[in-house]
Each structure stands twice: as structure tokens, then as C-alpha cells.
């Protein structure tokens, strides 16, 4: 996690770094810092807190320098405080460094440096790294780039770094392994950032550094990219950015999360665009079509993912098994990689990840690749690490998701997974032409239905949130396709409201969780018509007999559940298979409004970060 930004050019670096850090704050927001390079040396400011706190702390800095680097932190080594904040200086004061990632062998390097008389002020692995670079620079009389390269060759872990040297003040050296890094190339100016958002208004030309590469960026020269291992030159692959500035701004909404919830009719439509061709009776997906023997002959599909993406994977299990009758297993990526899983060449492993950078998911994929499985990625971020190591994949086209709580990425993932399941079912003959037509017609209606839900929920969900916001616990129940929705609803509530919430398959309640029920326990029940409705009615009766409050999500025209529930949110009916896309919307809104009413930081919940690039 953590975000890094750098600038070298003819503009003042300070505002570019500050604005860039604000855009990267989703990556971590417990402390922030920056350094500006001047003829007289470094000017450094850093603080515990957010980028706005850093602005205050920087009030005395000379803002005119044209070179600088900055950092927004999600603490790994050492608590968030001023000293542990980045940038970190080397002992001789010559080098300064920002880092996103973890240096796993930092203890042994620290010991080596301490034995040589180095002194450490922070608890971070980053301060160890900058001094390690100093060691090589001094002992072997190396240039900045060479010293960085030699040091990185000794390092185990993950990193994206940017380093400045006050004796070579017109140079920035960057490198990456496992954490993303983009270089924006302007007219005799260069930008460095964890993603392209900090420089989108300045240039559309960007180079995404590959894992194991480093670059020396010098004014007036071409960016020099080399492999860290062998110092071999790497040709510059300049890509044109598709991102636009509106996509990364709040656009009049109070929070990114709300904007992203309201974007869903569009993001789902964009995910289907060019793929779902209902009139022609086809689903076009090159990533599947070009490798169809792999999918159609697969003995098994394994889905690996974390958090919300894992919940999308659980829905995919139901869809793929229903439509294509291919066995599916869904695993937390973090468990999969450490439990010696059986992976065969005949397996297809699908990784679902909004960011495409989640360390556990990436590692699970690498393991599957080593074992010879065909690996497929479903990502939202173009050019992400997962997108680059997979054999094939499909982007979700949800657009940048900035709120830490995943919303539009989830429904876009469900959409693309529905397309994949339908396509497989069509091509392996498990779905008849009539079923395929019926289902694709229904899927095409989903964006309009989502729009309808957003309109119907106005003034309804915020009132329900007001009623239940002070409860300390909540239970979410669903069955079948909406069991994963219950898990997702609970995750949304806990991550932004800090209210303890658990999701269960409704029928499991009587095997334990029912003991928790009393008048202080709200139970959110997904009771859509096609989802084992009668069974859910019985579950609601059991809940009511224990005096717990029921908030039910029901379909239009529902009478039975509506009469029993304390509060009701009405959504339109759709095919059961696609209903998780619809039920997600009120669940997202409910947690959003509860968090707002509790005055929580919706977009930057405590202890979290958007892309989890540490294990
Ligand atoms: O980028 P990814 O989809 O791989 O991220 C996985 C999880 O970290 C993510 O879904 C997380 O659970 C979200 N904060 C949930 O809202």
C-alpha cells in the first residue's frame, strides 16, 4: 500500500506532489511527507495524519523547487508517527527515499548496518533501505543509480521506490518489484507515481515500469530503464493514458463512495459494452474465445480473490456451475497460496481483483502459473500487475474506484462473471439457445434496474440507517445466490461504520448464530422472490420470535415478508442468477448512510487501504 509521487521538470514540484498525494490517499492515509530538492540541499516535511496535515506542516517550506518526491503511508513497520513517516534520509544526509512495500530481510540488513555504525531513528524498513544504498554508494564509490541497483539486488520483499541524491540534484532514481510505479513523460518534465492519477492533467504519455526494472530520470535526457538484476537496458514502452480527470474527482458528490454507488448503471453498462450482443445472440470476449479449449476442457475452475472480490467469486461459483456445469472452487488467495493446494495443468485459475495489485492474489496466481495451470485475470485497473502476469483476462471497465469500500467494482465483477458463465454454458452446450437468449435479455436490463433501485432508495435507506445506526452488531442473511451478498453487505457495514456485522446463509442461523438474537440485533434479510422465498419466510419467523428487528430486501409486489419485517427496501425482480447485482445496491447504501450518520470517514476508513500490496 502507500502512495508515492515525484516530479522533476520546470514547474513547482510542491503543488504537484501535494495534489498527487491527495489522489493517492486511497492507498494509505495514516501519515504523509515530502521532500523538495534545492541547490542548498533537501527541504523535508512529514507528519502523522493526512495530506492536509502535511500542507500545514509545510507552511514554512520554500515552494519554488522543481524537483521533489512525496509519500502517503499505510503503516507496516512502526506505528504511524512523524518519525516513521516517509521520506527517510540516509545517515550522511545525502540520500532521501520514499517506499511502497515491505523489505522482508530488513532485520539482517539493519544488523549489518548497525555493526558498521549506522544509526536508526525510525522503526521502518525504509530507513534501513536508504542507508543500505548509502553503504554501497560510499564503500564502492557508486553513482546513485548503481548504488540503488546493487542494494535492491540484496533486498527480499516488495517495493516501489523513488530516491534523490543531493549531490546529483537533477536526477530521480526509481525501481519496482511487486508494487506499482508509473512514469509520466511530459515536455522536458517527468512525473513518478503509484498510479497515473497524479499527473493525468499534465501528460497522457506514461510508462508502467515492469517488475524488476528501475529507471534513472534526468532532466533533458530520455528515461533510462534497466533491469535491476543485470543492468540490461529495457526499451521504453510509452502508453497513452485513457484516464480522464472527471473519473478521479467527486463530481458534486460528498464522497467517492456515493459517487461510485451512483455510477453503477453506467459502470455495469460499460462492462457489457461490445461484449453482450443480444441481437446477434453472442457474447464477445476475446480472452475466453482465444483460449476456449482451455476453458471448455477444464476439469475445474479455481477462483482466487480477497475481500469483496472473493464475494464476487462466490457468486461466480453458482453461475458457472449452473450455466456451464464446470466444477468451481473459490478460495481466499491468502489461504490458497499457503496450503499446498492441488493444482493441475487441466485447471483454469481465475483471479478477481479490482486493483490487480493485491499481494495475496498475485502470489496465488504465480503459484498456479508455476504449477502449469492456465491463469486468467479479472481486473479493473488497466496494466496492473495481475493483468500483466495472466495468460489472458478481461477488464471490468468500472472506471477508477477511489472509495476504499468497493462498490461499482463488485457489480462490474459480477457482470463480467455472468458474461463468462453464459458464454461457457453456450459453447459447451449446457445452456440451450432459448435459455441463453432469455438470460442475456435479462442481463441487458440490469443497468436500468440498478438505476430504478437508486431512485427508489432515495429517502428510504437513509431513514432506515438513522433507525439502526446506534446498534453495535448486525446480522446479514441470504440464501443461494444471495448468500455471498449477505457476506458482502456485512463487510461493507463493518469496514466503513466499524459496526460488527456477520453474514450467514439464512438456513445456518439455527445452527448457532440464532443465539445472538434479541431486540438489539438488527437482521438484514435478502428475501427476493426467486431465492427460496418460502424458506426465507420461515427464517424470518424464527428471527421475529426472538424479538430481533428485521430489515428485508424484497421484490416489488411482495406482501408476505413485507408484513413481517420492521423495515422494507423494495427492488425490482430479475433472474435469480443476476439478483446479487441488484441486492448489492441497497446494502451499499445502507452501510454508506450508517457511516455518514455516525460521522465516520467513509472514503478512508481507519486501518484500511485501497490496494493491499502486503501479505
Ligand atoms: O483490489 P482487490 O479487489 O484485489 O482488493 C481485495 C480486497 O482488499 C478488497 O475487496 C477489500 O475487501 C475492500 N475494501 C472491500 O470493500
Q: What is the pLDDT of residues 34-52, one digit of tens each?
A: 999 988 899 999 999 999 9
The reply to whether ligand 1 has any atom less than 6 angstroms from the CB of 76 is no
Q: What is the pLDDT of residues 582-600, one digit of tens each?
A: 999 999 999 999 999 999 9
Measured in residues, the chain has a length of 615
The reply to whether ligand 1 has any atom less than 6 angstroms from the CB of 526 is no
Average pLDDT on 206-215 reads 95
Grid cell for residue 440 = 442475456
pLDDT over 90 (residue 77):
no
Which overall architecture, per CATH, does domain 3-247 show?
4-Layer Sandwich (3.60)
Is 193 within 8 Å of 184 (Cβ atoms)? Answer: yes
- pLDDT band for 262, please (50, 70, 90 cuts): very high
Nearest Cα residue to atom 12 of ligand 1: 307
Classified by CATH at the fold level, domain 456-603 comes out as Rossmann fold (3.40.50)
Q: Active-site positions?
A: 2, 610
Residues near 60 by beta carbon (within 8 Å), at least 6 away in sequence = none
Grid cell for residue 593 = 448512510
Is 234 within 8 Å of 210 (Cβ atoms)? Answer: yes
For the chain, give percent helix, strand, coil, nearest 5.
40, 25, 35
The reply to whether ligand 1 has any atom less than 6 angstroms from the CB of 361 is yes
**Is it true that the peptide bond before 87 is cis, omega within 30 degrees of 0?**
yes
Which overall architecture, per CATH, does domain 250-431 show?
3-Layer(aba) Sandwich (3.40)
pLDDT over 80 (residue 307):
yes
pLDDT score for 160 = 95
- pLDDT band for 277, please (50, 70, 90 cuts): very high
pLDDT score for 609 = 81
Average pLDDT on 119-126 reads 95
User: What CA–CA distance (Å, rounded) separates 270 from 456?
Assistant: 23
Grid cell for residue 478 = 441470504
pLDDT over 80 (residue 613):
no
pLDDT over 90 (residue 59):
yes
How many Å lie between the centroid of ligand 1 and the Cα of residue 410? 9
pLDDT over 80 (residue 531):
no
E-state strands within 300-451 = 300-305, 328-332, 347-353, 374-379, 392-395
pLDDT score for 244 = 81
Mutate which of 612, 613, 614, 615 for ligand 1 pocket (most atoms within 8 A of beta carbon): 612
Q: What is the pLDDT of residues 548-569, one digit of tens each?
A: 999 999 999 999 999 999 999 9
What is the position in ligand 1's atom list of the atom closest to the CA of 406?
Answer: 16
Extents of the domains making up the chain: 3-247, 250-431, 456-603
pLDDT score for 248 = 85
How many Å lie between the centroid of ligand 1 and the Cα of residue 178? 17
pLDDT score for 150 = 98
Q: Do domains 3-247 and 250-431 have the same CATH topology?
A: no
Mutate which of 303, 306, 333 for ligand 1 pocket (most atoms within 8 A of beta carbon): 306
- pLDDT band for 247, please (50, 70, 90 cuts): confident
Task: Identify which of 259, 262, 282, 209 has the alpha carbon closest to the alpha carbon of residue 239.
Answer: 209
pTM of whole model > 0.85?
Answer: yes
- N- to C-terminal Cα separation, the chain: 10
SS3 letters across 45-79 = EEEECCHHHHHHHCCCCCCCCCEEEEEEECCCCCC
How many Å lie between the centroid of ligand 1 and the Cα of residue 305? 9
How many Å lie between the centroid of ligand 1 and the Cα of residue 33? 26
Q: What is the pLDDT of residues 332-360, one digit of tens each?
A: 999 998 888 999 999 999 999 999 999 99
More confident residue, 277 or 383: 277
Amino acid at each position: 500500500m502507500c502512495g508515492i509521487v515525484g516530479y522533476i521538470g520546470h514547474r513547482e514540484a510542491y503543488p504537484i506532489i501535494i495534489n498527487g498525494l491527495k489522489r493517492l490517499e486511497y492507498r494509505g492515509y495514516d501519515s504523509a511527507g515530502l521532500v523538495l530538492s534545492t541547490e542548498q540541499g533537501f527541504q523535508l516535511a512529514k507528519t502523522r495524519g493526512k495530506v492536509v496535515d502535511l500542507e500545514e506542516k509545510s507552511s514554512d517550506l520554500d515552494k519554488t523547487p522543481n524537483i521533489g518526491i512525496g509519500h502517503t503511508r499505510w503503516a507496516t513497520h512502526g506505528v504511524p508517527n512523524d518519525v516513521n513517516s516517509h521520506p527517510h534520509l540516509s545517515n550522511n544526509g545525502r540520500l532521501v527515499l520514499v517506499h511502497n512495500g515491505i523489505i522482508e530481510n530488513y532485520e539482517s540488513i539493519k544488523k549489518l548496518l548497525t555493526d558498521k555504525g549506522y544509526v536508526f531513528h525510525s522503526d521502518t524498513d525504509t530507513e534501513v533501505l536508504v542507508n543500505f544504498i548509502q553503504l554501497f554508494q560510499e564503500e564502492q564509490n557508486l553513482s546513485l543509480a548503481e548504488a540503488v541497483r546493487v542494494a535492491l539486488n540484496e533486498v527480499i520483499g516488495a517495493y516501489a521506490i523513488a530516491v534523490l541524491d543531493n549531490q546529483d540534484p537533477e536526477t530521480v532514481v526509481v525501481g519496482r518489484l511487486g508494487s506499482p510505479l508509473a512514469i509520466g513523460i511530459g515536455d522536458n518534465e517527468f512525473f513518478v507515481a503509484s498510479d497515473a492519477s497524479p499527473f493525468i492533467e499534465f501528460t497522457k504519455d506514461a510508462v508502467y515500469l515492469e517488475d524488476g526494472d528501475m529507471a534513472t530520470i534526468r532532466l533533458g535526457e530520455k528515461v533510462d530503464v534497466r533491469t535491476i538484476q543485470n543492468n540490461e537496458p529495457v526499451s521504453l514502452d510509452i502508453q497513452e493514458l485513457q484516464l480522464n480527470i472527471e473519473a478521479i474527482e467527486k463530481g458534486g458528490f460528498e464522497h467517492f463512495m456515493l459517487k461510485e454507488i451512483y455510477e453503477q448503471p453506467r459502470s455495469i453498462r460499460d462492462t457489457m459494452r461490445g461484449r453482450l450482443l443480444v441481437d446477434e445472440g453472442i457474447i464477445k470476449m476475446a480472452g475466453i474465445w482465444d483460449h476456449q479449449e482451455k476453458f471448455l476442457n477444464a476439469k475445474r475452475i479455481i477462483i482466487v480473490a480477497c475481500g469483496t472480490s472473493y464475494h464476487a467469486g462466490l457468486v461466480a461459483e453458482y453461475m458457472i456451475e449452473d450455466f456451464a456445469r464446470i466444477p468451481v472452487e473459490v478460495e481466499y488467495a491468502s489461504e490458497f497460496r499457503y496450503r499446498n493446494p492441488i493444482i493441475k495443468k487441466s485447471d483454469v485459475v481465475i483471479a478477481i481483483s479490482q486493483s490487480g495489485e493485491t499481494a495475496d492474489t498475485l502470489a496465488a496466481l504465480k503459484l498456479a502459473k508455476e504449477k502449469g495451470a492456465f491463469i486468467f485475470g479479472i481486473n479493473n485497473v488497466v496494466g496492473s500487475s495481475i493483468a500483466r502476469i495472466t495468460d489472458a483476462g478481461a477488464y471490468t471497465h468500472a472506471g477508477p474506484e477511489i472509495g476504499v469500500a468497493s462498490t461499482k467494482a463488485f457489480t462490474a465483477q459480477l457482470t463480467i462473471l455472468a458474461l463468462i458463465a453464459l458464454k461457457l454454458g453456450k459453447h459447451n452446450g449446457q445452456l440451450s439457445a432459448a435459455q441463453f437468449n432469455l438470460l442475456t435479455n435479462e442481463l441487458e436490463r440490469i443497468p436500468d434496474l440498478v438505476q430504478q433501485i437508486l431512485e427508489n432508495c432515495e429517502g428510504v435507506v437513509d431513514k432506515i440507517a438513522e433507525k439502526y445506526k446506534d446498534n453495535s452488531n448486525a446480522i446479514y442473511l441470504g440464501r443461494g445466490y444471495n448468500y455471498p451478498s449477505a457476506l458482502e453487505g456485512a463487510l461493507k457495514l463493518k469496514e466503513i461504520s466499524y459496526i460488527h456485522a456477520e453474514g450467514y446463509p439464512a438456513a445456518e442461523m439455527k445452527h448457532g448464530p440464532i443465539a445472538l438474537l434479541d431486540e438489539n440485533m438488527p437482521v438484514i434479510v435478502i428475501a427476493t422472490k426467486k431465492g427460496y422465498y418460502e424458506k426465507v419466510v420461515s427464517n424470518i419467523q424464527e428471527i421475529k420470535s426472538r424479538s430481533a428487528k428485521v430489515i428485508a430486501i424484497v421484490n416489488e409486489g411482495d406482501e408476505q415478508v413485507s408484513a413481517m419485517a420492521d423495515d422494507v427496501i423494495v427492488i425490482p425482480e430479475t433472474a435469480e442468477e443476476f439478483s446479487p447485482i441488484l441486492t448489492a445496491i441497497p446494502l451499499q447504501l445502507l452501510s454508506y448512510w450508517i457511516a455518514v450518520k455516525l460521522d465516520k470517514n467513509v472514503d478512508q476508513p481507519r486501518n484500511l487501504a485501497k490496494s493491499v500490496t502486503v501479505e
